[in-house]
Amino acid sequence: MLRWFIKRMFRKYLDRKGYILYHPGALELYEDKKSLEQIINWKESDIQISDKRDSTYMRDEQGNKIDVTVTLEGLENILDMKALEGKRILEVGPKYGVHSSWIDKTLKPSEFVLIDIAKRKDLTQALDKELTCKHKWIFGNILTSKELLAEEPFDFVFFLGVLYHNVEHVKMLNILNRITKNGGMMLLESTFTDFPLPVIKLRHKFVEGVSALDSQKAKAYPSLGALKMMLAWTGWGKAVHYTNYRPQSAEKLIMCYKTADPLKQYQGAPVGGSE
């Protein structure tokens, strides 16, 4: 009681002198949370997901160690596969093709578009032969691909393990919104920082023993608060965070719903809202 009384008197003294007692981060946390609740419908789902791995590494059918974000069982836990069957689907960054093959066989898209960086073009030939549905490849940077922007709108976008590879998060989310149908969905998986404020944590690492071109590892990890803001800015006004996806890791899985077009300041430039 005495401690409370002393603190109260001290605050009054500071107020009379024109000072403010400020706890770093407290005001921002309150204001950000209040704003976010108004601009995005954010829900958390505790649905059980069959993916409790500590990392994204797993073994393929040949026993090779590969990097896969969400397991196929995990996808089946959260996706309404019947509703997605025969839809127009985009996959960003197919990598090893684990999800691509599953999408082809399970969802049977009316058209399946896959976009990957140009240097992976030769590595996708084997996967291309496996795909049985109508499909198309786009090779290039998602941030600058006018071919991607020219595509007809998609019903569903797989955006797994890509966001943190580039700091232009708003730009990427903007582009994907612009090529998604109204009411369409995007499944997003990425590494995040647990920092409570809406920030992006940058990382740069030099990796020894690899070629000069591949030795620089740059990553950009948003906080969930930052992602919520960026989703709202770019027209993804509803999202569901699956809290049981690999709960011990820094990676998170989020279903995003297109509810609007991006804010006007992100609609003026030819690609992504900034020159």
The string of pLDDT tens digits covering residues 14-24 is: 667 666 555 55
* Phi then psi dihedrals of residue 124, to 5 deg: -95, 0
Mean pLDDT over residues 15-40, rounded? 64
Q: What is the pLDDT of residues 140-187, one digit of tens each?
A: 999 989 999 999 999 999 999 999 999 999 999 999 999 999 999 999
* Residue where the block lists tokens 């509803």: 238
Question: What is the CATH code of the structural domain delimited by 41-266?
Answer: 3.40.50.150
Asked whether 143 and 170 are in contact (CB, 8 A), the reply is no
pLDDT at 55: 87
Asked whether 242 and 78 are in contact (CB, 8 A), the reply is yes
Instruction: Tell me the whole-structure pTM to 2 decimals.
Output: 0.84
d(CA 228, CA 200) in angstroms, rounded, equals 12
- For residue 30, which amino acid is it? Y
Query: In the predicted model, what is the mean pLDDT of the chain?
Result: 87
pLDDT at 213: 53
Asked whether 180 and 153 are in contact (CB, 8 A), the reply is yes
List the domain boundaries for the chain: 1-39, 41-266
Two tokens at 47? 């649905």
d(CA 43, CA 191) in angstroms, rounded, equals 19
